[in-house]
Amino acid sequence: MAIDLLSPFKLNDTITLSNRVLMAPLTRCMADDDLVPTQDMVDYYARRADAGLIISEATIIRPDAQGYPNTPGLFTQQQIQGWKKVTDAVHKNGGKMFAQIWHVGRVAHPHFFDGEVLAPSAIAVEGSVPRMRELTYITPKAATIEDIQGLIADYAKAAENAIEAGFDGVEIHGANGYLIDQFLHYAANTRGDEYGQTPENMSRFALQVVDAVIAAIGNDRTALRLTPGAYFNMSEDNRDQAIFDYLLAQLESRNLAYLHGGIFDDSTRFDSLQGKTTSEYLRAGYSKGTLVGVGSYSFESAKEAINDDKFDLIAIGRPFIANPDYISKMIHGEETLAYSDEMLTELK
C-alpha cells in the first residue's frame, strides 16, 4: 500500500505529526541584537504551521556558541519568552515545533561575545563569517575536560529552556561542521585523551550530549541531526566512517524521536560513505528508528523515496521559504514559487 506524505505519522507515544513533511531548519538571522526572537519570526513560523513538524533555525545554547549575526538564543529569559510567542503562534495554527539547539565550535567568533572560541582541537577553520566577511576565523582553544562538561550541561539546559518556551522537543545540531560534528571528524579532532583518536572516543561527546538532553526532557522529545560525510567547514577523511559506524550503533538504543540526515543525499559527494547516499548509509546503520531524509527532494521524489523505504519523513527547506503555504499547495496540486537566494533576506 502506497504511503501518502500528507497522512498523519505517529512519531512516538507522545507526538503524532499531521503529515510526513517537515520544515527543515533554515538560518535566517532575524533575531534582535539580544538574540531574542522578533515579531517577524513569530509571523514567519506561524505561516508555515501546516508542516508536519517545524524544525527551528539553529538556536545557540550560550553566548560563545555564536558564529553568525542575529541568530537566536535559548539561554536568557528574554529569549525563552520570545520563543514562547513563536511556539504559541505555531500551536494556535495547529502545528508542532522542535528547537534545533546549536553550538558552532570553531566557527564561532569573539566579535559576538567576550571569551575564547572553543573546539575539540586548536585547529582553525579557513574563511570568514558569513554576512560579516571582514571577520576572519581565529584559532580556537582546545576544550578542556572541564569545558566539555560545561558544554554538555549547557546543551541539557538549552533543551529544558526549549520545553519552557513551548517547543514540542529539540533537535540537537550534530552536523555540518559545527561543534559536535567537529568531534566526529579527524580533520578537526586530533585530541589524545578520551575524546580523540578512536571511534569510541570521538563519539563520546555526541553521545554524552544526547544522553544529557534525554535525561533533561525525555528521549521522545530528543532528536539529532548528523552529516556522516564531511560537508561544511570540514575536509574529508576516509577514517571518519568508522566513527559514524560506531555512533549509529550506539544511537539505536537511545530510541530517539528521529535521526535527521545531512544536507546532501548523493552518493557521488563523499568517498567515506563508499558509494552509498547519506540516507542509504544512515538507514543501514540506524535501521530501527525513525529517519528523516533531506537533500533537494521535491514532494514527488520524496514520496517515491519514502515508499521505497529510504527514510520515513522528509525535511523540505528552500521551498518553504518561497512558499509558506507549501503544504496547502501540495494538497491542492498548485504550482509552487521557485526559490532564489534573494528570498533569504526578502521573504518572511
Q: Is 297 a catalytic residue?
A: no
Residue 3: Cβ within 10 Å count: 14
CB count in 10 Å sphere of residue 273: 23
Per DSSP, 134 falls in state E
- Give dist(CA 175, CA 227) in Å, integer: 5
Which secondary structure element, helix H or strand E, spans residue 192, and what is its range? none
Q: Are 35 and 70 in contact (CB under 8 A)?
A: yes
Asked if residue 328 lies in contact with residue 297, where contact means CB atoms within 8 angstroms, the answer is no
- Amino acid in the structure at residue 112: F
Distance between CA atoms of 69 and 270, rounded to whole angstroms? 30
Does residue 23 contact residue 313 with C-beta atoms inside 8 Å? no
> SS3 for 10?
strand
Give the Cα separation of 21 and 85 in Å (integer). Answer: 23
Measure the CA–CA gap between 74 and 162, rounded to whole angstroms: 7
* Amino acid in the structure at residue 326: Y
- Which cell goes with 116? 575564547
Q: Can you tell me the distance from the alpha carbon of 2 to that of 42, in angstroms, rounded to the nearest whole number?
A: 36
Q: In whole angstroms, what is the distance from residue 260 CA to residue 57 CA?
A: 14
Triad 14, 303, 21: Cα angle to 5°: 40
Integer CA distances (angstroms), 137 to 68, 120, 175, 186, 189, in order: 12, 15, 19, 19, 17
Task: Decide: 314 and 302 in contact? Cβ < 8 Å.
Answer: yes
Q: Exactly one of 68, 137, 155, 178 is catalytic; which is it? A: 178
Reported as half-sphere exposure (CB side, CA atoms, 13 A), residue 54 has a value of 32
Q: Which residues are catalytic?
A: 178
